[in-house]
Amino acid sequence: SEFNLMELVTECVEQCRLADGKHSIGIRGDESLLLFADHDRIEQVLSNFLTNAFKYSPEGSAVEVHIERLDDSRVSLSVTDEGIGIPEANIGHVFDRFFRVEKTSQNYSGMGLGLYISSQIIQGHHGEIGVRNNPLKGVTFWFAI
Ligand code: ATP
Ligand code: MG
């Protein structure tokens, strides 16, 4: 169905704030973006991105959600953190089922499924999903549909 993306982001961030409370979360972008997609699945992807951003970055650091229109038919959402980043040798595998960065996984618990599920959801919408290391620190996860 069709929904306002900023409303979804605001709700999801509000819930994540209650669960985490240790990061400063910023939201920016177009407040009028409408998306025709599965609302609850898209919320699940954002929630997975945010959960990772909180888990793999220090308390008190900033997390930013950004939404924008790319062209007539596509919108994008990204989550940027200031965390530990991902080694370039591993970054191509983070959407694989059960994949976890070996060094990271010694200090944080998880199944290696959140990003795999997220990529399945975005593929189900015929969209694109990706990640890049930021110039200074941390990573940016994004999808476009
Ligand atoms: P879960 O199944 O509970 O989500 P997980 O967080 O380990 O477990 P994914 O969310 O699929 O699994 O992430 C896969 C791996 O990618 C993580 O184990 C971690 O090594 C790396 N990763 C994911 N997000 C980030 C991030 N924001 N910063 C640094 N590394 C990350
Ligand atoms: Mg995860």
Residue 138 Cα: closest atom of ligand 1: 28
Burial of 68 (0-12, 13-18, 19+ CB in 10 A): middle
3-26 per-position pLDDT tens digit: 999 999 999 999 988 888 899 999
ipTM, 2 dp: 0.99
Length of the chain: 145
Q: Are 32 and 26 in contact (CB under 8 A)?
A: no
Residue 57 Cα: closest atom of ligand 1: 28
Closest CA to 110 of 101, 121, 119: 101
Distance 51 CA to ligand 2 centre (A): 6
**Alpha-carbon torsion angle 29, 76, 137, 23, nearest 10:** 50
For residue 87, give every residue at least 6 positions away whose Cβ sits within 8 Å of its Cβ, in sequence order, or none.
101, 103
60-81 per-position pLDDT tens digit: 999 999 999 999 999 999 999 9
Grouping H, G, I as helix, E, B as strand and the rest as coil, residue 89 is: coil
Q: Which pLDDT does position 103 carry in this prediction?
A: 83
Output the pTM of the full model.
0.97
Average per-residue pLDDT in the chain? 96
Count of C-beta atoms within a 10 Å radius of residue 69: 15
Question: CA angle at residue 52 from 11 to 60, to 5 degrees?
Answer: 80
Query: What are residue 84's DSSP bridge partners?
Result: none
Q: What is the largest CA-CA distance in the chain?
A: 44
Identify the residue whose C-alpha is closest to ligand 1 atom 12: 112
Grouping H, G, I as helix, E, B as strand and the rest as coil, residue 26 is: strand
State if residue 84 touches ligand 1 by the CB under 6 angstroms criterion: yes
State if residue 112 touches ligand 1 by the CB under 6 angstroms criterion: yes
